[in-house]
Amino acid sequence: MNSSFKTVITYGTFDLFHYGHLEILRRAKELGDYLIVGLSTDAFNRIKNKKCIFAYEKREEILKSIKYVDKIIPENSWSQKPFDIKKFDVDIFVMGDDWRGKFDELTDSCDVQYLPRTKGVSTSELKQIIDK
């Protein structure tokens, strides 16, 4: 693969998919040529203490229909990132800036970019509105 070809990776739960999720995927893809998404499994969401409305298969189905996403891999643990970066020859790791600083150890293996979160929307806020 020529050196200008850039592989980008990002991770998340992507539950109740919304435009904040779309925006991070759009911007992540814009940084390179190929975007891999590490999608949190239901078991990993339990480890993250994150209650999920939609099961992995449903969240995966939505991500598969997003034009920015080229590949989806399961995210089973906090520790898999360096292995994924090596396995898929990742050039750029992207997360929203709510995670700023949390994955800086990955700068040894690739470019780490924290992008501004999209204001005004979050899965937890959507859940509160739905629960009303």
Question: Is 71 marked active-site?
Answer: no
Q: Which stretch binds ligand C2G (CB under 6 A): 64-72, 85-93, 104-112, 119-127?
A: 119-127
Q: Tell me which stretch binds ligand C2G (CB under 6 A): 18-26, 64-72, 82-90, 105-113.
A: 18-26
User: How does DSSP assign 52-87, residue by residue?
Assistant: -SS-HHHHHHHHHT-TT--EEEEE--GGGHHHHHHH
Residue reference for tokens 């200008």:
4
Cα distances from 69 to residues 48, 102, 116, 120, in angstroms, run 23, 23, 19, 23
Q: By CB under 6 A, what part of segment 19-78 binds ligand C2G?
A: 20-21, 24, 40, 50, 75
One of 48, 51, 58, 64 is an active-site residue; which one? 48
Is 70 within 8 Å of 78 (Cβ atoms)? no
Q: How far is the CB of 7 from ligand C2G (least distance, A)?
A: 17
Whether 6 is catalytic: no
Distances (CA, A) of 9 to 6, 24, 34: 10, 11, 8
Catalytic residue among 6, 29, 50, 67: 50
- Contacting residues toward ligand C2G, per CB under 6 A: 11-14, 20-21, 24, 40, 50, 75, 95-96, 98, 117-118, 121-123
| Residues carrying an active site annotation | 48, 50
